[in-house]
Amino acid sequence: MAWRKSSYSDGGEDNCVEVSDGFPGVVPVRDSKNPTGGVLLFPATAWSGFIATVKNGRLLTPAERAERARKALTTLKEWNGYVPAAAQQQDLDCELDRRLAQVTGR
């Protein structure tokens, strides 16, 4: 059985997941720090849903979500050539903080 390390594994103590391909209907998953330990088998559809959730950022911490939203807003402003006056920027920042608080629950 060939294993591949998740692209989200950073080699640290907490992020060490490996998966194996080629098993119809299931995805074997193990802790790469303990290769002789147990293997979890996930239904392929459940694993695909999990991966989609991770890629969409829905498992991010509130701080990570807020940072991603700030970067997206900055990029959007740059694309549109938008440069607000200082007072407008302050209003926009307050509105962004309000909306981020709604999204992140803080």
Domain residue limits, the chain? 4-55, 62-104
pLDDT of residue 97: 75
User: What is residue 9's predicted lDDT score, i.e. its pLDDT?
Assistant: 67
pLDDT at 12: 61
pLDDT per residue rounded down to tens, the chain (106 residues): 888 887 766 666 666 888 998 899 999 998 888 888 889 898 899 888 888 887 776 777 778 878 887 787 777 767 666 666 666 667 777 777 777 777 666 5
The values of phi and psi at residue 40, to 5°, are -95, 135
Which neighbouring-strand residues pair with 26? 43
Q: In degrees, to the nearest 5, what angle opens at C-alpha 102 toward C-alphas 99 and 106? A: 115
